[in-house]
Amino acid sequence: MSPEMIGADIGRRLQALAVTLRRYDGFVFRSWETAEPADGRLPEDDVSAAAAALVRRALRVACDPEGWKVLVRLREGEATTVELGAVLACPRIVAWEKVNDLLQAGLAGRELDGDRVAITAAGEGVLELVEGIADAAATAVKA
């Protein structure tokens, strides 16, 4: 998977976050207040900084040993948080939080009905990227 494809998937996550912020900003917390409408777009000067931060976060979460184990397991197919807890040798609630980290980084997706977790294209791409770099490093050592 190319960096462009991984970036496009993380970019879609960034767009989803912008929409979420727009909805949050438009939510009226007190009955006597009115919400200011917002368009959900990031200011132009924030897009590059936000994208870079999301990419760094995705790499950090993916390369965390437990996050990595979850992604490798999800590469085989969907799993429940109970199954992921067994992979991590931890209680379901801890696995749930590890999955949340991957969700927030755009590397996994969750279907709440049935507690199903799946890897995203970005998650698959990050696995391929790190594995490719590791293979190149091993090859360089053997040469």
Q: pLDDT tens across 27-64, in order? A: 656 655 555 555 556 666 688 888 899 999 999 999 99
Extract the tokens encoding 101: 């980290």
Domain spans of the chain, in order of start = 3-142
| Closest-CA residue to 54 (of 104, 109, 96, 97) | 104
- CATH numeric code, 3-142: 1.10.10.10
Give the tens place of pLDDT for each residue, 120-142.
999 999 999 999 999 999 999 98
Task: Indicate if the pLDDT at residue 75 is higher than 60.
Answer: yes
- Give me the pLDDT at residue 29, please: 61
Helices (H) and strands (E) in the chain, counts: 6, 3
Token readout for 127 is 């696995």
What is the chain's mean pLDDT, rounded?
87
Indicate whether 1 pLDDT > 90.
Answer: no
Which residue in 99, 104, 107 sits closest to 128, CA to CA? Answer: 107
Determine contact, residues 108/99, Cβ cutoff 8 Å: yes
Residue with tokens 């209680």: 91
Place of tokens 């990050």: 126
**What does the pLDDT average to over 13-30?**
75
Average pLDDT score over residue span 105-133: 93
What is the pLDDT, as a whole number, of residue 134? 93
Are residues 6 and 132 in contact, defined by beta-carbon separation less than 8 angstroms? no
